[in-house]
């Protein structure tokens, strides 16, 4: 009887689809990630359920949209009692591991935008005890010298190496390891000891932390340890290996800082390329030209060409480190004799504007730069060097992985398996829903933005709650989304059809769990 396949799921943070060599990037070299695509299928039309970290990661694990699983925006919590596809794998005999960033609950003591922690604690909720239904994971748990033991299973994971936050100041188990292995750790994390550089890009920081002590290196080494430890085990494994980069701050360590030059890049889609910018785009432009500040370090902003090119060069450096790390993990998988029985996936939780229309980071404007992400599926039993234009969503990953393992999803899963598309067939979707909910009011919105998009192979239709304007883009003739056809007289029938289809998707956002067990 053939052994069930292992799964190695590699995921980055805030990487747009076209920032890989195998996706056609003209400058960035990613030979190791490209090798995964060479052994499998590259998906060219894969979209997030939400272009924000926490909601989309929860959708990945649950196969449910943010409005249903409850982690609606960053700062919320995926309840401890939420079922995940990792639970299903573990119950079926898989050994499950999370190595790196998980981000299914907050790991800071900072209050949400415009709110006070005391007021939040004193406000009753619609459901009783909801704030108690979460894992007790707080930053202070990692302040001791002894390794903090996370309560497992943690969202289905039996083994957890936790890395929180971004850049060179990550927390969790990495922080404990860093303090133990870097005797001068306080000096290395002192901003006064930043290495000299001439970059003016916001959040460009030349860290003194060497490559071997940087979070990417830690995650690489823990993943290799795990893969090697599983080599002589009978039970198959599912390993979720999650890198916090290339998310800002822009701080690639060591040789990766100047591996790429800003002169290597160009801003090919400036603000002027958009024919009729939406109100938030105009608001961001005004803020940029008038010296306005970001609401938070994670809030979308506009920058000048040189600063964007600097951010691109540093992002490329971070990606180069990730690619090298993945190469080492793949070598370990092969050397341990497990490559030929392991399905390898490569993905990102969301993208980055990264210069499109002079914008940076992410936000309420669901351009393809932040909703379209890389996804590669390499299967020992599947085709090699193929690509698929099947429209897929993050919510489909749970159903697809379980399908490959010969298992069924739990009741309430909203995704559709696209396993046939990994074998060259068509995918199950003709449309994908993308949700965005903000935790605070920014980008000129009077209230926190509530945004819903419907993506088809031909169109992107977006509506903003309580706004008289919306977005409609012809992806066939305008793939860069430079002309909003919302008010075009010639496209009113298309707008009406997509509006109706979006309504059907929104009607479907009802939790089917728990199912009825009686007639009445």
The tens digit of pLDDT for each residue in 316-347 reads 999 999 999 999 999 999 999 999 999 999 99
User: In the predicted model, is pLDDT for residue 108 greater than 80?
Assistant: no
Which residue from 471, 466, 518 is spatially nearest to 498, judged by alpha carbons?
471
Rounded CA-CA distance 197/205 in Å is: 8
Q: For residues 34, 35, 40 and 45, what is the CA-based torsion angle, rounded to 10 degrees? A: -10
Q: b/e string for 446-464 if b means 16 or more Cβ within 10 A?
A: eebbbbbbbbbeebbbbbb
| pLDDT tens for each residue of 470-518 | 999 999 999 999 999 999 999 999 999 999 999 999 999 999 999 888 8
What tokens were used for 477? 């003739």
Q: Where are the alpha helices (DSSP H) in 65-126?
A: 66-69, 85-91, 117-122
What tokens were used for 343? 């399905």
- Tell me the pairing of strands 171-172 and 159-164: antiparallel
Per DSSP, what are the bridge partners of residue 450?
437
Q: Where are the alpha helices (DSSP H) in 290-428?
A: 305-335, 368-371, 397-404, 419-422
CATH class of 6-426: alpha beta
Q: Is the Cα dihedral 330, 17, 457, 434 positive or negative?
A: positive
User: In the predicted model, is pLDDT for residue 39 greater than 70?
Assistant: yes
Residue 211: φ, ψ to 5°:
-55, -45
pLDDT at residue 132, rounded to an integer: 59
Q: b/e string for 126-153 if b means 16 or more Cβ within 10 A?
A: eeeeeeeebbebeeebbeeeeebebeeb
**What beta strand segments (E) does 211-289 contain?**
237-246
If you write DSSP's letter for every residue of 93-120 in order, what string do you get? T-EEEEEE---SS--S-PPPTT--HHHH
Rounded CA-CA distance 455/462 in Å is: 9
User: In the predicted model, is pLDDT for residue 1 greater than 60?
Assistant: no
Coil, helix or strand at residue 161: strand
Q: Which residues contact 14 (CB under 8 A, 6 or more apart)?
A: 53, 246, 247, 248, 348, 349, 350, 351, 352, 361, 362
- Tell me the pairing of strands 386-388 and 41-43: parallel
Rounded CA-CA distance 382/39 in Å is: 9
What mean pLDDT is predicted for residues 382-398? 97
Roughly what angle, to the nearest 10 degrees, separates helices 53-62 and 397-404?
30
Confidence of residue 133 (pLDDT cuts 50, 70, 90): low
Roughly what angle, to the nearest 10 degrees, separates helices 215-229 and 173-181?
100
- How many angstroms separate the most distant Cα atoms in the chain? 71
How many Cα atoms sit within 13 Å of 502 on the Cβ side?
21
Rounded CA-CA distance 349/222 in Å is: 21
Instruction: Assess contact for 274 and 482: CB atoms under 8 A.
Output: yes
What mean pLDDT is predicted for residues 98-107? 87
| pLDDT tens for each residue of 250-296 | 999 999 999 999 999 999 999 999 999 999 999 999 999 999 888 88
Confidence of residue 116 (pLDDT cuts 50, 70, 90): confident
How many residues make up the chain in this entry? 520
Our CA angle for 244, 238, 108, nearest 5°, is: 35
| pLDDT tens for each residue of 439-479 | 999 999 999 999 999 999 999 999 999 999 999 999 999 99
């Amino acid at each position: 009887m053939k052994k069930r396949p292992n799964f190695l799921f590699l995921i980055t943070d805030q990487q747009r689809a076209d920032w890989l060599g195998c996706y056609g990037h003209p400058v960035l070299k990613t030979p190791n990630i490209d090798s995964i695509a060479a052994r499998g299928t590259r998906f060219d039309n894969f979209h997030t359920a939400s272009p924000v970290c926490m909601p989309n990661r929860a959708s990945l694990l649950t196969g449910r949209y943010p409005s249903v699983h409850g982690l609606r925006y960053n700062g919320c919590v995926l309840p401890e009692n939420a079922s995940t596809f990792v639970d299903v794998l573990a119950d079926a005999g898989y050994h499950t591991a999370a190595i790196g960033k998980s981000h299914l609950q907050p790991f800071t003591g900072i209050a949400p935008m415009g709110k006070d922690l005391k007021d939040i604690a004193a406000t009753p909720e619609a459901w009783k005890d909801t704030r108690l239904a979460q894992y007790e994971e707080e930053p202070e748990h990692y302040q001791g010298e002894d390794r903090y033991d996370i309560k497992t299973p943690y969202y289905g994971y039996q083994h957890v190496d936790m890395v929180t936050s971004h850049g060179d100041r990550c927390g969790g188990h990495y922080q404990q390891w860093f303090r133990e292995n870097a005797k001068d750790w306080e000096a290395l994390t002192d901003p006064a000891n930043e290495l000299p550089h001439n970059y003016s890009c916001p959040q460009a920081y030349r860290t003194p932390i060497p490559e071997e002590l940087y979070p990417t290196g830690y995650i690489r080494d823990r993943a290799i340890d795990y893969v090697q430890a599983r080599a002589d085990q009978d039970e198959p494994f599912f390993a979720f290996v999650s890198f916090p980069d290339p998310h800002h701050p822009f701080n690639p360590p060591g040789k990766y800082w100047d591996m790429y030059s800003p002169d290597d890049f160009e801003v090919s889609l400036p603000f002027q390329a958009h024919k009729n910018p939406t109100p938030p785009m105009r608001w961001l432009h005004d803020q940029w030209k008038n010296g306005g500040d970001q609401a938070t370090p994670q809030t979308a902003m506009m920058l000048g060409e040189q600063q964007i090119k600097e951010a691109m060069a540093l992002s490329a450096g971070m990606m180069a480190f990730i690619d090298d790390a993945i190469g080492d993990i793949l070598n370990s998988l092969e050397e341990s004799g497990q490559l030929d029985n392991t399905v390898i996936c490569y993905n990102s939780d969301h993208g980055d504007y990264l210069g499109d229309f002079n914008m940076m980071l992410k936000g309420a404007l669901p351009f393809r730069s932040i909703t379209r992400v890389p996804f590669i599926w390499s299967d020992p039993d599947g085709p090699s060097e193929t690509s698929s234009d099947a429209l897929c969503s993050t919510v489909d990953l749970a159903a697809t992985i379980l399908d490959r393992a010969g298992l069924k999803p739990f009741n309430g899963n909203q995704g559709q398996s696209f396993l046939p598309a990994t074998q060259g067939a068509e995918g199950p979707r003709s449309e994908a829903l993308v949700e965005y909910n903000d935790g605070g009011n920014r980008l000129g919105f009077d209230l926190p933005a509530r945004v819903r998009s419907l993506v088809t192979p031909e169109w992107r239709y977006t509506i903003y709650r309580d706004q008289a304007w919306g977005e409609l883009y012809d992806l066939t003739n305008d793939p860069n989304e430079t002309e909003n056809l919302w008010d075009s007289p010639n496209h009113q029938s298309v707008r009406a059809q997509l509006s109706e289809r979006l309504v059907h998707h929104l009607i479907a956002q009802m939790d089917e769990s728990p199912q009825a067990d009686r007639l009445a």
